[in-house]
Amino acid sequence: MLKIGNLTIDNPIFLAPMAGITDHPFRVLCRQMGAGVVYTEFVSSDGIVRENLKTMDLMRFTADERPIGIQIFGDDPETVGNSAKILNEKFDPDIIDINYGCPVPKVTKRGAGSGAMKDLCKMDDITQAVVEAVPLKPVTVKMRAGWDNESIISTEAAERLEKIGVKAITLHPRTTKQQFSGRSNWSYIKAMKEAVSIPVIGNGDVVTADDFMRMKDETGCDAVMIGRGALGNPWIFKAIQAKLNGTNFFHPTILDRAEMCKIHFELLKQDKHEKLCVNLSKKHFAWYIKGFSGAAEWRSKFVRSENIDEIESHLNELVNDFALNYSE
Ligand SMILES: Cc1cc2nc3c(=O)[nH]c(=O)nc-3n(C[C@H](O)[C@H](O)[C@H](O)COP(=O)(O)O)c2cc1C
């Protein structure tokens, strides 16, 4: 059993925070599929202290999503600390996570996200402010390996963050300069794990149950966080649990995928206004509906859909067609 501060976590397979993706519907699905912890996307501390409505909406969650982490980012220690206090009082998440990994220039040029890795004293100050603002809540950090190959700071930063009182660290071991190119270098996860005694959560390029086992074996990490591997594939959490328990996992059939589109769509309909529901359905369906003959035609039907009714009628066609024609 894994513990992050005073929080006990049933299984060590986490859903990564992903902007525009890990909203309430997707988090609910991933929890149902066995994710041990889910996260909101990164939320601006500036927006939180201004109580901007859109920002506040990103942090709304329901009890069935717990344990959930709300992730924040910002460059000014006082603001980030205040934002943690406000969100803790309003939402009471299980974890507050600080983002030191975002590589987007709009964020990093102010010293927020992975920009903080260029100045470890500033990273200390931001973290300290959050830990002091919410003394009873586990505060965690998610970071990259460093700004570029010449400045890998993850192990040194982890030692400093542990002293400040952070209760776990997630490492996506690419540099900011790398963005998402190349491979993540798991040896940095191993180095971090050897340097600190708080839990280390490994992240980067895990897309199968075998990858999960390999990352655990090679790095000794306490948990694994999965991002892109869950897109169109929330079953990945079940597949990994089955591997850990030595039980069988039956890969989703094409019909299962079509039915998952329907379930996801229903959750989106309940949660979003029509335009957003339609756009997000198109985005997620493109991930669910792929890898079989005829997939491209189905995807383009959804892409051309303009409203909820059109999506709904194509979804019914899709499920009926698959139920009739695919008997894997
Ligand atoms: C579309 C997208 C949005 C992301 N948004 C966030 C975010 O809001 N906060 C964060 O810490 N990381 C974010 N990430 C990074 C992921 O959490 C993760 O670290 C990265 O994708 C590597 O893991 P993976 O190989 O399992 O995808 C995002 C990644 C993607 C692809």
Residue 328: its pLDDT value, please?
Answer: 53
Low-confidence ranges of the chain (pLDDT < 70): 326-328
**109: CB partners within 8 A, 6+ apart:** 115
Report how far ligand 1's centroid is from the alpha carbon of 292 (Å).
Answer: 27
- pTM to 2 decimals? 0.97
Q: Which backbone phi and psi does 305 adopt, to 5 degrees?
A: -70, 140
Q: Measured between alpha carbons, how far is 192 from 152 in angstroms, rounded to an integer?
A: 12
Report how far ligand 1's centroid is from the alpha carbon of 102 (Å).
Answer: 8
Residue 325: its pLDDT value, please?
Answer: 76
Report how far ligand 1's centroid is from the alpha carbon of 202 (Å).
Answer: 13
| Domain 2-245 listed as CATH 3.40.50.620 | no
Residue 73: its pLDDT value, please?
Answer: 98
Among the residues of the chain, which ranges form H helices? 24-32, 45-49, 53-57, 77-91, 105-108, 120-133, 154-164, 187-195, 209-219, 236-245, 254-271, 274-288, 295-304, 308-325
C-beta 205 within 6 A of ligand 1:
yes
Residue 165: its pLDDT value, please?
Answer: 98
Nearest ligand 1 atom, CA 99: 11
C-beta 71 within 6 A of ligand 1:
yes
What is the topology classification, in CATH, of domain 254-325? 1.10.1200
Residue 133: its pLDDT value, please?
Answer: 98
pLDDT digits (tens, 9 = 90+) for 157-168: 999 999 999 999
Residue 321: its pLDDT value, please?
Answer: 85
DSSP annotation of 250 reads: P
**Atom 6 of ligand 1: nearest residue by CA position:** 18
Nearest ligand 1 atom, CA 184: 25
What ranges do the domains of the chain cover?
Answer: 2-245, 254-325
